Amino acid sequence: MKKLKLILILIVGLSFKIQAQELDVNLQLRPRFEYRNGYKQPLSYGQEGTSQISQRSRLGINYKQDDLIVKLTFQNTRTWGDVPPATVADKNGVAVFEAWAQYNFTEKWSARMGRQVLSYDNQRILGEMDWAQQGQSHDALIVTYQTEKQKLDFGGAYNSTAENVVQTPYTVANYKAMQYAWYHNQFNENLGASFLLLNTGYEYAPNPAPSTKLLVDYMQTFGPYLTYKKGKIDTSFWLYGQTGKNTDQQVSAWNAAANFGYNITNAFKVGLGYEFLSGKDSNDGSTVIKSFNPIFGTNHGLNGYMDYFYVGNHLKSVGLQDAFIKLNYNVNKWQFALIPHVFLSAADVVTPVNEKLDSYLGTEVDATFGYNFRKNITVTGGYSQMFGSKTMEFVKGGDTSHTNNWAWLMISVDPKIFSWKK
């Protein structure tokens, strides 16, 4: 380790003139065991649950020189056993999760370009999606204006499949172009407010195709996010609308939520919450998209840990109503949480024979724990069970009379392996 530090110091010292510099190198190893028995949707009759261990391995390099900040993060995600012990190549290889440079023009103005995480407010619309082993990052350019109480971000991206020389369809499951603006004002120590305007454009070929020209339709997502914290009270509220077009279909959808938290003691906190994500009646034959899409949100932490809703699923569906209670208890190095959810559809669920089903989808109970084993080592785990209804069966398939549950255990090792400053 001493030789490694000496080599890194020599490299940095030879590469730059003598001026204020900082270099940090961080490592993250995060294996996670999961037992999936009705995870994401009810287990079908005759099927059995399964187990596996996934792992994220990251190496992060952070460098700062005066007004220049650079970050480079490599990662490998894998399932234990997805390649044989004597393999000559990894299945997923090593990917670049972050690779950006930021320059601070003044104390208030800065710009950042490259592969980076876009995370705002409670991550309902734009988030890191850190639960997923691969995470989520974007190739983008961001210009920031920031004062003590205010922050304004302008961001944009334009994507292609490769360095093409002629028009080539963009076949990646992603937007072709994106622009956004996010403004936050911390009025005082208690009240904060943000406003997001996101414009996402997806490319498609018209059908029937009158020409070889590819089209891009833009959908707008916009709305405020408010927080109020005072004494033992902790509340949040948001309201987002969606409009515009998506692959030649009109969009008209919305999302609203309110959360109230109260610290009964320093160790025990209780919370109540309700969220509504608009949907479309299952017998609605119109082409208008009425189902709200959280787009790039960190959805795992919002509508139940079993990921029945909006984690790569439930899009263009009957929407969702989510009423929940959060009970948190922290003592010494331990953290415990119990979160029961009651789920209902936001739109009518109607069968092919025109029978309207009850809006109740099911109840999920999530229980988690965390233990700070020592510095840079954390153990977390949990158990969840879904008690689904016949309406849930109709919407998502599977057998709700089957015991549908999920359990997990994860160890996070996050050491800083090198730090240098001059």
Q: Which CA distances in Å does 161 have to 74, 98, 169, 179? A: 21, 19, 8, 19
Q: What is the pLDDT of residue 16?
A: 47
Domain spans in the chain, listed from the N-terminal domain onward: 27-162+170-421
Residues in the chain where the model's pLDDT stays below 50: 14, 16
193-219 tens-digit pLDDT: 999 999 999 999 887 665 678 999 999
Q: What is the rounded radius of gyration, in angstroms, for the C-alpha atoms of the chain?
A: 24
Q: Is 198 in contact with 218 (CB distance < 8 Å)? A: no
Q: What is the pLDDT of residue 422?
A: 86
Q: What is the pLDDT of residue 403?
A: 94
Enter the tokens of residue 384: 């969840």
Task: For 8, list phi and psi in degrees, rounded to 5.
Answer: -65, -40
DSSP 417: E
58-109 tens-digit pLDDT: 999 999 999 999 999 999 999 999 999 988 889 999 999 999 999 999 999 9
Q: What is the pLDDT of residue 213?
A: 84
**What is the separation, in whole angstroms, between the first and last Cα of the chain?**
20
CATH 3.40.640.10 at 27-162+170-421, yes or no: no
- The closest of 219, 235, 216 to 227, measured between CA atoms, is 235
Q: What is the pLDDT of residue 8?
A: 53
DSSP 359: S
* Residue 85, preceding peptide bond in cis (omega within 30° of 0): no
Q: What is the pLDDT of residue 20?
A: 80
Residue 9: partners with Cβ closer than 8 Å, 6 or more residues away: 420
